Amino acid sequence: MWLSVGAVCAFVLGWEAAHRLGWLNPVLLSSPTRIADEGWRLLSTGALTADLVFTLEVFCVSVIAAVVTGMLVGFAIGYSALAYHVMNPFIVTANSLPKIVLMPLIVLWLGIGMSANVFLATLMASFPVITSTYAGVKTLDRDYVLLARSFGASRGHMMRAIVLPGITPYVLSGLRVGISYAMVGALIAEFFASSKGVGYRMVLFMSNFQVDAFFVCMTMVAVFTLACTSLVHWLERRVDAWRPSAFRSARGL
Amino acid sequence: MLRVHELGVSYPTRTGELQVLDNVSLEVNDGEFLAVVGPSGCGKTTLLHVLNALLPPTSGRVDRAGATTAMVFQRPTLMPWRTVLANATFGLECKGVARDEAERRALVLLERMQLADHVADFPHQLSEGMKQRVNLARALLVEPDVLLLDEPFSALDVMTRRQLQDDLLELWQRHSVTVVLVSHSLEEVAYLADRVGVMGTKPTGLRAVVDIELPRPRAADPEAAVAMMRVVEDLHRRMVG
């Protein structure tokens, strides 16, 4: 942990030093202090607020939509062999396709605006959730279902007591990957076809050679995505608190 | 109590129908300890699943006369994300018993089964013997008329197995429950059962039903142990003969 903090500090200090010593071209590359100054300016004047809100909205809606679709589709293909055989070719094909090439088509269908961006981001974020939910359903122990049936459990109770706790760690690990995909989707959609959002502003800043402002956006996106991913990671560990580590000796028996 | 009449079970497979049980007739009497013994893969587990209504008979019928059943699986099948207490109450939970009431009852039984110190533990912290005791407690807690046990002691070491067998006998007597135990161990059924149904290899009918008239506790002294071994040999002859 402290080693990681140290490494990050060393990187930032080294970067700043290299900049001050004139080793880096100031037109092509920003520096930590310049990013901080520019960031403060952009945030305090509220110049970026509307764009931040827009991108975050797209991101949040997409993440929720991806969890819902991912769990539904993942459960369906894990539960029913019929659903698997019918849907799997489409899922595999869609998954191997770089989703970004669909953006012109999505804009054609939905027009330029938030729904097109949400569509792309959701599409990108769903697949990891689908695949990991499917894996979770597949690894569910058949004996638990038999056990629940032997006690006459209802379907609903079986879902709540066996399926949901069994697949939750898998869904979360899919979500952790999905979150960064959702951010990529939200930004790329803005690169392509948008008049709002952090991604749109990044393109604009770059075309005006505002390297510092570009770096501010990049830093904010990175920090935010990292925070979300860490939150999910923390949730994963909480849910999995019972699971013993394979590499640590068991306590007690 | 439970009456099995000319039961047949077959599964469809790629090569055709696989007959697992053929013409099995058996009566389980109220309060008795009945064992069914046979070699691996002879359809013992299938028989239990039919008794537990997890599997429909292909032919014949099972008359359960309103008797309730609960199953103790071969593997402990404890949910790793639940504590011992939450695993033990799972059956009651399925039956719709309120949580407070379920936990109160479970704590009483777990204490009696020397698991009081482990109620908050997770399954991976338990020994195999303890896990199997939780498995047993979970089934007993729903207060079934008939307790169905599917080779629950087969994966345990000799000392733990004997301990759990004695625990089971004590619980059987205390709760006056009817027990149907399926096992491949002749020693085990000779040690535990009032009556033993002997099965051969697939497709199997019941070859014999043998009364075991040994006093309990069995194997208490060398003579009793010798008498038990005689029963084992007799059962073995009937199984292969």
Q: Residue by residue, what is the 3-state secondary structure of B134-150?
A: HHHHHHHHCCCCEEEEE
Sheet of B16-28, strand order? B16-28, B2-13, B59-63
Interface contact flag, A250 B77, Cβ < 8 Å: no
CA of A162: which chain B residue's CA is closest? Answer: B79
> Would you call A81 an interface residue with chain B, using a CB distance cutoff of 8 Å?
no
> Would you call A231 an interface residue with chain B, using a CB distance cutoff of 8 Å?
no
Interface contact flag, B81 A242, Cβ < 8 Å: yes
The pair of three-digit structure tokens given for residue B42, joined into one six-digit string: 């002879």
The pair of three-digit structure tokens given for residue B232, joined into one six-digit string: 């084992």
> Would you call B115 an interface residue with chain A, using a CB distance cutoff of 8 Å?
no
DSSP-assigned letter for residue B231: H
* pLDDT digit string, tens, across residues A129-138: 999 999 999 9
The pair of three-digit structure tokens given for residue A30, joined into one six-digit string: 């920003």
pLDDT at A90 over 50: yes
- Residue identified by tokens 């389980």 is B28
Cα A247 to chain center, whole Å?
Answer: 29
pLDDT at B203 over 80: no
pLDDT at A250 over 80: no
The pLDDT confidence band at residue A19, using thresholds 50, 70 and 90, is very high
Mean pLDDT of all residues in A73-101: 92
Residues of B in Cβ contact (< 8 Å) with A142? none
DSSP-assigned letter for residue A160: I
> Would you call A246 an interface residue with chain B, using a CB distance cutoff of 8 Å?
no
Q: What is the pLDDT of residue B204?
A: 67
Interface contact flag, B79 A162, Cβ < 8 Å: yes
pLDDT at A115 over 70: yes
Q: What is the pLDDT of residue A46?
A: 87
The pLDDT confidence band at residue A253, using thresholds 50, 70 and 90, is very low
Q: What is the pLDDT of residue A252?
A: 44
| Closest residue by Cα to residue B168 from B197, B139, B125 | B139
- % of chain A at pLDDT higher than 90: 77
Using alpha carbons, list the distances in angstroms from residue A197 to A118, A183, A201, B68, B201: 12, 12, 6, 63, 72
The CA distance from B79 to the nearest CA of chain A, in Å, is: 8
The pLDDT confidence band at residue A1, using thresholds 50, 70 and 90, is confident
Q: What is the pLDDT of residue B133?
A: 93
Rounded Cα–Cα distance for residues A253 and B118 (Å): 11
Mean pLDDT of all residues in A23-50: 91
A165 Cβ partners below 8 Å, 6+ apart? B79, B81
Q: For B25-181, where are the alpha helices, taking DSSP H only? A: 44-51, 84-88, 90-94, 99-112, 128-141, 158-175
**Residues B118, B121, B122, B125: what is their CA dihedral angle, to the nearest 10 degrees?**
-70
Residues of A in Cβ contact (< 8 Å) with B54? 146, 149-150
Q: Tell me if A167 sits within 8 A of A133, measured CB to CB.
A: yes
Mean pLDDT of all residues in B174-179: 92
Give me the interface pTM, i.e. the ipTM: 0.86
A68 Cβ partners below 8 Å, 6+ apart? none
Q: What is the pLDDT of residue A100?
A: 87
* pLDDT digit string, tens, across residues B131-163: 999 999 999 999 999 999 999 998 889 989 999
pLDDT at A251 over 60: no
> Would you call B140 an interface residue with chain A, using a CB distance cutoff of 8 Å?
no
- Residue identified by tokens 């006056």 is B176
Q: Tell me if B21 sits within 8 A of B46, measured CB to CB.
A: yes
> Would you call B93 an interface residue with chain A, using a CB distance cutoff of 8 Å?
yes
* pLDDT digit string, tens, across residues B56-106: 999 999 998 888 999 999 999 999 999 999 999 999 999 999 999 999 999
Rounded Cα–Cα distance for residues A86 and A135 (Å): 17
Examine residue B144 and say whether the peptide bond preceding it is cis (omega within 30 degrees of 0). Answer: no
pLDDT at A82 over 80: yes
Mean pLDDT of all residues in B164-189: 93
Rounded Cα–Cα distance for residues A176 and A236 (Å): 9
Q: Tell me if B126 sits within 8 A of B120, measured CB to CB.
A: no
Q: What is the pLDDT of residue A246?
A: 67
| Closest residue by Cα to residue A120 from A229, A194, A176 | A194
Residues of B in Cβ contact (< 8 Å) with A146? 54, 73
- % of chain B at pLDDT higher than 90: 71
For chain A, what is the mean pLDDT? Answer: 91
